Amino acid sequence: MLTNKTKVLLVLTQDVLDRARVFAGKATTALKLPVSLQIVLRALIEVGLKRDNHPALRANVEGQAKAVRHLRSVAGRAGLRGN
């Protein structure tokens, strides 16, 4: 299954992580198979990428991109004041 592996650092909020863990627990119970957090996150990414035209997915990506831009600009301004 995973013959071509790449490692990725993923930073998530505690709420998202908790929800993914709950999903993994429910899947473990329903499937009667061990389902890890990593399996859940991989599946969510794969399914999400297949739905690239879904408005909610695009809105989420846009919101996160804007948040990152805002944080970087605030950090850049703070760096200028520190010099």
pLDDT tens sequence across 38-63? 999 999 999 999 998 999 999 999 99
Share of the chain above pLDDT 90, in %: 78
The residues, any chain, with a CB within 8 Å of residue 24's CB and separated by 6 or more, are 35, 36, 37, 39, 40
pLDDT at 77: 82
Question: According to the model, what pLDDT value does residue 60 have?
Answer: 93
Better-scored residue on pLDDT, 13 or 77: 13
Residue 1: pLDDT band (50, 70, 90) is low
Map out the domains of the chain as residue ranges.
Answer: 12-50, 52-83
pTM of the model: 0.74
Residue 34: partners with Cβ closer than 8 Å, 6 or more residues away? 28
Question: If you average pLDDT over every residue of the chain, what do you get?
Answer: 91
